[in-house]
Structures are given as C-alpha cells and as structure tokens.
C-alpha cells in the first residue's frame, strides 16, 4: 500500500472547465435588458457632461451652498466635479457591463510559438551579415575601424563624468554655522538686535546671527543657524558651572535644529520648561541644558554661549562647540 503512495502519479491535464452560458446568451429578454442597461449608463455619462458644461455656464462661481457632511461648499466646483466624475465613471461602467453581459465570452487558447528561429533563418542571417560586412570593406578600411572604436569607447566616459554630480563632499559645512564670537543675536524675522530687558521671564524669541552687510542669508544657513532664546528665572536652572556661565541672567539659547533628524525644535512649554520636537516627540529639558528626557534623540541640543556687547545687546561668546543637527558619519559623537 505504501509503495503505491510513493509512486509518482501522473495527473491528466483536466483542460478548461466547460463553458457556461450566461443568461444573456440564452434568454433574448435578458439580453435586451442588458442592452438597455448599457445604454442607460452611457446616457448617464452624457448627462454628466452636459451637467458639467451647464454648471460652468450657469452657476455663479462665488455661490456657496450648505451640505450636511461637507459643510459650506462652492456650488460650481461641486457641480463641475460631480458632473465630470459621472461622465467618466459611467463610460467605464457601461463598457465593462457591456463586455461582461453581451460581448462574446468564449474561452480562446492561443499557443505560444517557439522562441528559437528555424535553422534555415539563422544560417541566412549569418551569411547576410558576413556578406554585407565584406562589401562595406570593414577589413580593408582600418582608419574607419579604429576611429569608430575610439568614438564608441569614449562615449562610455560621459555617464561616468556625470557621477561627479553626486558630490562634492560637504567638507566641514555640516560642522560649522554662522555663529562666532561677538556675533549679535537678531530677531527672526525683523533682524533687530536684542537686549536682555527685551525679554520677560517666560518669553521666547526666535533668533538668527547678525550677518555682515551685503551677506545674503541663504536657506542653507538658516537651516543651521536658527536658535531659540528663552528666558527663565535664574534659580530655575540646574546647570554645571560652565553651562551656567553660558547663560545671561536667566536667558539661555539653544540650537533649534533637532539632534535627531533636524526638525525645528521650537515647541517650548512654558510651564514645564520642556522643548518638544514636533516630528518624533523628542523632549528636551531646558533647565538641564536641553537634556533628552523623552524620545529618539540621542544628544542634547547644542547650547549657544551668551554675553553682552558694549552697547548692551546679546552676542555669542563663541560659536557652537559641537556640530548642530542630526548625526553624520564624520561627526565625533562625544
């Protein structure tokens, strides 16, 4: 019995299932009904088109109507959209319904021919190529042969050249910003310098570095330079001596570029003194030098050291001491 099971059994190809006639194939009344249905669907499409044209001409483009779920809706736009959708949708529905109910649905088998050409054709092709090549004198005219080789060989070089556009490498651009010792903090937008007295406790300001006159502020620079200035009560800070010396009378500044993926971290919750990144919910504690207290970020936000200049405006004591923003290969993650 077991040998019977182990033996390979050949299955007979069952072939196609028997063709089943549709109701429309056998019943003329059903066929006529299907025909009327298809015609009605085409007519609906035609009505849709007419409706589209009519609503374009006759409906006031500024008229709004109230609809239960949609609320106040522009009547003309609604009619145009509905009409156009109907005109296209019903053509499709009619065609499919027509094909499914009335068009022939006999199963047809078309055998695939063999891929290999006949031996005769192949021999013919080879002899033609040899014959023509000899007639063109490729063997004799070596100048053409060599120059052609040169040109075809060189063509391959241009795509290689375009690979250059993948670079150049950013060098140290990822590690540098426009902040440097003595650069004034200015409001964004507005470009006004800021005095400590301009900020009350609990206030924030979005700031950028003051650029020398004539220097354009590029988006690339804003993407690295953006800083958030926050004023707290000095006693709220829980900082080490160095970081505390980077603040000024309760005013502390952090890079706004998230150390996780580079989103702008500016959701400052004044009561909890937390900074929240809107992209992945990294949360930084401002009182502890932007220590990460929640979320995927691996590092605190870089802090900008502050001091006052002779005129009493806030300036940077030095540039950022670490690269701002997300990690990159060459970054020394300290």
Partner 1 sequence: MNARRFRRQKFAGPILVVAALLTIGSAFSIASALPSAQKSEVSAQSTLVDEGKQIFLKGCASCHGLNSEGGAVAPSLIGVGAAAVDFQVGTGRMPLANMSQQAMRKAPLYNPTQVAALGAYVSSLAPGPATVDPASLAWERDGNVAQGGELFRTNCAMCHNFAAQGGALSNGKYAPTLMGVEPKHIYEALITGPQSMPKFSDKTITPAEKLSIIKWIKSANAEPAIGGASLGRVGPVTEGLLVWTLGLGLLIGVAVWLASKAR
Closest CA to 323 of 267, 243, 258, 251: 258
- Give 127 or 272: the residue with its C-beta nearer to partner 1: 272
Distance CA 102, CA 38 (A): 10
- Give 69 or 135: the residue with its C-beta nearer to partner 1: 69
Check: CB of residue 232 under 8 Å from CB of residue 302: no
Half-sphere exposure of 29 toward its Cβ, with a 13 Å CA cutoff? 0
Residues near partner 1 (CB under 8 A) are: 22-24, 64, 67, 69-74, 77-78, 96, 100-101, 105, 187-190, 192, 194-195, 197-200, 202-206, 230, 264, 266-272, 274, 276, 278, 281, 283, 294
Distance CA 244, CA 232 (A): 12
Q: How far is the CB of 71 from partner 1 (least distance, A)?
A: 6
Q: How far is the CB of 194 from partner 1 (least distance, A)?
A: 6
- Give 284 or 320: the residue with its C-beta nearer to partner 1: 284
Q: How far is the CB of 130 from partner 1 (least distance, A)?
A: 53
Q: How far is the CB of 69 from partner 1 (least distance, A)?
A: 7
Distance CA 40, CA 203 (A): 68
The dihedral of CA 132, 136, 142, 144: what is its sign?
negative
Under 8 Å CB-to-CB from 128, ≥6 apart: which residues?
Answer: none
Tokens of 220: 């690339």
DSSP state of 288: G
- Give 4 or 311: the residue with its C-beta nearer to partner 1: 311
Q: How far is the CB of 320 from partner 1 (least distance, A)?
A: 20
- Give 183 or 226: the residue with its C-beta nearer to partner 1: 226
Q: How far is the CB of 270 from partner 1 (least distance, A)?
A: 4
- Give 75 or 174: the residue with its C-beta nearer to partner 1: 75
Distance CA 27, CA 253 (A): 84
């Amino acid at each position: 019995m077991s040998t019977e099971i182990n033996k390979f059994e050949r299955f007979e190809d069952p072939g196609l299932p028997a063709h089943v006639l549709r109701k429309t194939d056998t019943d003329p009344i059903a066929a006529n009904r299907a025909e009327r249905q298809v015609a009605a669907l085409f007519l609906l499409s035609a009505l849709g088109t007419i409706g589209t044209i009519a609503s374009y001409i006759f409906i006031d483009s500024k008229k709004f109507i109230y609809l239960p779920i949609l609320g106040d809706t522009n009547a003309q736009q609604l009619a145009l959209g509905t009409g156009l959708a109907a005109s296209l949708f019903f053509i499709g529905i009619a065609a499919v319904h027509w094909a499914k109910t009335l068009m022939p649905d006999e199963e047809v088998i078309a055998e695939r021919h063999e891929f290999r050409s006949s031996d005769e054709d192949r021999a013919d092709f080879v002899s033609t190529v040899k014959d023509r090549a000899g007639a063109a004198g490729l063997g004799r005219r070596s100048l053409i042969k060599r120059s052609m080789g040169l040109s075809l060989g060189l063509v391959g070089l241009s795509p290689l050249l375009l690979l250059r556009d993948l670079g150049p490498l950013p060098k140290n651009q990822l590690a540098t910003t426009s902040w440097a010792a003595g650069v004034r903090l200015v409001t964004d937008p507005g470009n006004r310098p800021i005095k400590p007295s301009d900020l009350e406790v609990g206030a924030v300001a979005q700031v950028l570095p003051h650029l020398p006159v004539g220097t354009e502020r590029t988006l690339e620079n804003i993407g690295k330079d953006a800083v958030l200035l926050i004023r707290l009560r000095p006693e709220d800070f829980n900082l080490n001596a160095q970081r505390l010396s980077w603040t000024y009378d309760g005013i502390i500044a952090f890079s706004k570029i998230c150390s996780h993926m580079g989103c702008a971290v500016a959701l400052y919750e004044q009561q909890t003194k937390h900074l929240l990144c809107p992209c992945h919910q990294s949360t930084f504690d401002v009182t502890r030098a932007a220590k990460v207290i929640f979320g995927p970020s691996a590092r605190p936000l870089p802090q900008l050291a502050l001091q006052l200049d002779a005129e009493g405006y806030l300036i940077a004591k030095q540039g950022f001491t670490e690269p701002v923003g997300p990690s990159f290969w060459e970054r020394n993650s300290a």
